[in-house]
Amino acid sequence: MKKALSIMLIALIALSSVFANGASESSGKTEVYFLNFKPEIADVYTNVVEPAFEAAYPQYDLKVVTAASNQYQTTLRSELEKAAPPVIFQVNGPVGVQENVNTVAPLQDTDYYSLLADKSMALTLEGNVVGVPYAVEGYGIIYNDAIMRKYFALPDKAVSISSAEEITNFETLKAVVEDMSKHLDELGIQGVFASTSFMPGSEWRWTTHLVNPALWAEFGDLATAQAAKEFQFTASENFKNIFDLYLNNSITAKGMVGARADADSMAEFALGQVAMVQNGNWAAAQILGTAGNTVADEDIKFLPLYMGLDGEENYGICVGTENYLAFNKNASPEALEGADVFLTWLFSSDEGKAIVTNDLMFITPFSSFSADEVPDDPLARQVNIWMNKDGITSVPWVFNGIPSEQWKADFAQAMLEYINGNYTWDQVTKVAQDAWAREAELAGR
Amino acid sequence: MEKTLRKYFPLFALPALICFALSFLIPMVWGFILSFCEFTTITDATFVGFKNYVRAFTVDNYFTGAFWFTLGFTIVTVISINILAFTIAMILTKNVPGTNAFRTIFFMPNLIGGIVLGWIWQVVLNGVLAGFEQTLLSNAKYGFWGLVILMNWQNVGYMMVIYIAAIQNISSDMLEAASIDGADGKTTLFKIIIPSVMPSITICLFLTLTNGFKLYDQNLALTNGAPNHQTEMLALNIFNTFYSRTGFEGVGQAKAVMFTIIVAAIALIQLIATRSREVEN
């Protein structure tokens, strides 16, 4: 009896370990595991993309998992160590490729890569194409044209121009903003700019996006920035120009910025409490989704980030991408083929393209999309308008060449110390230079 | 019976042993090995010797900064939590009306998780500081005292329960004898009550000391190390090291090993020191 009992116990333990491995491989389908970077469209993947793809290609089982906001790298690292790792994952530019050198697969023979219109946009590693962009984004200063029109109609305005579209340099922007600050009550707003958010995790609008024109002015292009051992921050004064303008004409007092998140800034804009906020077209959903949103679609427009750089009259908004998809070379050949089938279906079949344009709302860099197949949200339309303006050059995303996350963190903290009055601007500049030199060396440049 | 027990002991202990090995022993040994390696995933580690330990101090000085901040924080919270908890325990064992209600209320913050507590206190403290146009991130001092307040709020109730149990266990004969001998309140407290609850003091000191050193969630939610790494504690620094730079996973691991050794050493010294003062009842 006892013997029987112990045999049963052992059998139970053995069985449970078998079940712990999971009983998932029973269907005979090939699993295509995609680790999604964008939490704002997680539902679209599960509710629309998955059923549609599996209906079109029943031999595949598409699995989309979304990492929590700001947790992508952490999630990716732990997922890659699992027995069934992601087949498709995102890398955020060349630094992202460096972080995943041992994982990224060559993509030059895939159908997905052949869809890319401008092949120079892809990321390469040792002669292989390893990352293909899937969405182009643009950012600048988003303004509420209704408030701007109200300002330009004021009888005692201090500027001679009569519409926001005539603002083409920092001088004009500064004159307009500072004069608007004197007329807050008449305009019905509480500040010209939304909060300069510095709550932990909300500094990215300054450490990457705002510094981008300064990086561009110094390095000229992404490849140079990526290889740069040193960053002189030659446009430091220009950066300070616009940063001070944000801070001094804001809805939020300087001392309070540490308690504001970027979502707060977007809500302030959506509620019509401010006229301007720096952000990109991905924020459209945030503006339109705010309860009590008072901004009309046609009034949401972009201004470039003017900061007093030479020739900035001809600069547009910052257009580029940090959204590249890479394949995991350690996945099975069937799964890799499935990944290619899936992405090609998504970005070139009529059904897939409709989902991309209407539900995922990407502006894509693929030749399979025609010019009128762009998402129908106001900021995406604005990005398109700015990209195609005559005589205007879009500012590329040079910030992908920032050597590490630590540089961003140190720079953010230095800016916060400047806001709190503990650092002079020279100290902030020094931190940016020193941290760059240190991080570039650590990154092996 | 004894014989059967001995025979089946390995079988019954096996599940627990497997769990212990899988979730504690193996990761710990593996983590120690990894601290001497450079790696991105734990499967592609290459041995680099003591390089990680050197880099923990030479690349930036955040780790030493975090150590001093953590040490200061731990000293302040160990003292304040234990004094407050003991005082409340003394009051609540003196037949005050509504004692049970008070005990429950004081204990309740302990049931809330660290991240949630951090957010709650961030809102509260930012609300207070807003009156002065400041936030928790304006000055490292605010972050420090904010963390101290948070930690007290969370831990006082728990330590209080331990002290209450100990105080209630003191035999009334001793207290009666002391009062017949003419001992006043102060003498009774220092000669009778404190020596009798010494085992609980050992436990509470140990818990508050290690809690203070290991603090992570609350730190992350309240300030996340801002401004300028000045409120970054050891655990948070280790996490940030691991994830903020490519190729620094090993350095984070080396810091974690040093962290374990420091915490274990301090906790052991404290245990030995207070154990020697315990008296037999």
Residue-level pLDDT at B280:
57
Residue A375 lies in a domain: no
Verify whether the Cβ–Cβ distance A6 to B8 is below 8 Å: yes
d(CA A400, CA A125): 15
Residue A211 lies in a domain: yes
Of the three residues A364, A394, A420, the one that is the final residue of a domain is A364
d(CA B255, CA B258): 5
- Length reported for chain A: 445
pLDDT band for A385, please (50, 70, 90 cuts).
confident
Do residue A180 and residue A153 come from a single domain?
yes
d(CA A177, CA A148): 10
Residue-level pLDDT at A25:
47
Q: Where are the alpha helices (DSSP H) in A23-117?
A: 42-44, 50-56, 72-80, 93-99, 111-114
Average pLDDT over residues A4-12: 60
Q: Percentage helix, strand, coil, to 5, in chain B?
A: 75, 0, 20
Do residue A96 and residue A112 come from a single domain?
yes
Beta carbons of A36 and A45 less than 8 angstroms apart = yes
Residue A227 lies in a domain: yes
Do residue A226 and residue A82 come from a single domain?
no
Average pLDDT over residues A130-147: 94
Do residue A116 and residue A171 come from a single domain?
no
Residue A377 lies in a domain: no
Do residue A273 and residue A422 come from a single domain?
yes
pLDDT band for A376, please (50, 70, 90 cuts).
confident
By the 10 Å C-beta count (0-12 exposed, 13-18 middle, 19+ buried), B184 is classed as exposed
Distance from CA of B151 to the nearest CA of A (A): 20
Residue A9 structural domain = 2-133+322-364
Statement: residue A114 has pLDDT above 60: yes
What per-residue string of b and e applies to A283-300 under the rule 16 or more CB within 10 Å gives b?
bbebbeebeebebeeebb
d(CA B27, CA B39): 15
Verify whether the Cβ–Cβ distance B246 to A95 is below 8 Å: yes
Q: Which residue of A has its CA nearest to B225?
A: A200
pLDDT digits (tens, 9 = 90+) for A217-238: 999 988 899 889 999 999 999 9
Map tokens 């980030």 to a residue. Answer: A305
Do residue A250 and residue A391 come from a single domain?
yes
Most A-contacting residue of B5, B246, B251, B253 (CB-CB within 10 A), to test interface? B246
What DSSP line would sit under A369-415, residue for residue?
A: S-TT----SHHHHHHHHHHT-TT-EEEP-GGGG---HHHHHHHHHHH
Residue A121 lies in a domain: yes
B240 vs A contacts (CB less than 8 Å)? 409
Distances (CA, A) of A222 to A142, A318, A400, B28, B35: 25, 13, 7, 42, 34
A253 vs B contacts (CB less than 8 Å)? 133
Average pLDDT over residues A184-193: 94
Residue-level pLDDT at B180:
92
Do residue A252 and residue A356 come from a single domain?
no
Average pLDDT over residues A167-174: 94
Q: Can you count the helices (H) and strands (E) in chain B?
A: 14, 2
Provide the token pair at A336.
């890799």
* A69: nearest Cα among A38, A35, A34: A38
Half-sphere exposure of B229 (CA within 13 A, CB side): 23
What DSSP line would sit under B24-83, residue for residue?
A: IIHHHHHHHHHTTEE-SSTTS-EE-TTHHHHHHHHS-SHHHHHHHHHHHHHHHHHHHHHH
Number of domains in chain A: 2
Distance from CA of A264 to the nearest CA of B (A): 14
d(CA A399, CA A236): 15
Beta carbons of A280 and A319 less than 8 angstroms apart = no
Q: What is the pLDDT along chain B (281 residues), one digit of tens a residue?
A: 678 888 888 888 899 999 999 999 999 999 999 999 988 777 778 899 899 999 899 888 899 999 999 999 999 999 999 999 999 999 999 888 888 899 999 999 989 888 999 999 999 999 999 888 888 888 899 999 999 999 999 999 999 999 999 999 998 899 999 999 988 889 999 989 999 999 999 999 999 999 999 999 999 999 888 888 889 999 999 998 887 777 788 999 999 999 999 999 988 998 888 888 776 54
Of the three residues A333, A364, A395, the one that is the final residue of a domain is A364
Residue A89 lies in a domain: yes
Map tokens 């020739």 to a residue. Answer: A311
Do residue A429 and residue A305 come from a single domain?
yes
Residue A28 lies in a domain: yes
Provide the token pair at A99.
């972080």
A199 vs B contacts (CB less than 8 Å)? 137
* A226: nearest Cα among A431, A408, A398: A398
Provide the token pair at B103.
């005990």
Give the strand pairing for B37-38 and A191-193: unpaired
pLDDT band for A24, please (50, 70, 90 cuts).
very low
By the 10 Å C-beta count (0-12 exposed, 13-18 middle, 19+ buried), A96 is classed as buried
Do residue A395 and residue A304 come from a single domain?
yes
d(CA A74, CA A325): 17
Option in B44, B130, B244 nearest A256 (CB)? B130
Of residues A96 and A195, more confidence is placed in: A195
Mapped onto helix, strand or coil, the DSSP state of residue A307 is coil
Those of residues 242-281 in A touching chain B at CB distance below 8 A are 253-259
Option in B42, B135, B225 nearest A259 (CB)? B135
The interface predicted TM-score of the complex, written ipTM, equals 0.75
- Length reported for chain B: 281
pLDDT digits (tens, 9 = 90+) for A273-288: 999 999 998 888 788 8
Do residue A291 and residue A432 come from a single domain?
yes
Q: Which residue of A has its CA nearest to B246?
A: A99
pLDDT band for A55, please (50, 70, 90 cuts).
very high
Do residue A230 and residue A353 come from a single domain?
no
Q: Percentage helix, strand, coil, to 5, in chain A?
A: 50, 15, 35
Q: Is A78 on the interface with B (CB under 8 A)?
A: no
Q: φ and ψ at A101, to 5 degrees?
A: -50, -40
Task: Count the neighbouring beta carbons within 10 Å of the beta carbon of residue B276.
Answer: 9
Verify whether the Cβ–Cβ distance A198 to B246 is below 8 Å: no
CATH number of the domain enclosing A241: 3.40.190.10
Verify whether the Cβ–Cβ distance A255 to B224 is below 8 Å: no
Residue A369 lies in a domain: no
Average pLDDT over residues A240-261: 92
Of residues A77 and B48, more confidence is placed in: B48
pLDDT digits (tens, 9 = 90+) for A296-331: 988 999 999 999 999 999 999 999 888 899 999 989
Residue-level pLDDT at A2:
58
Do residue A9 and residue A52 come from a single domain?
yes
Distance from CA of A93 to the nearest CA of B (A): 14
Residue-level pLDDT at A8:
61
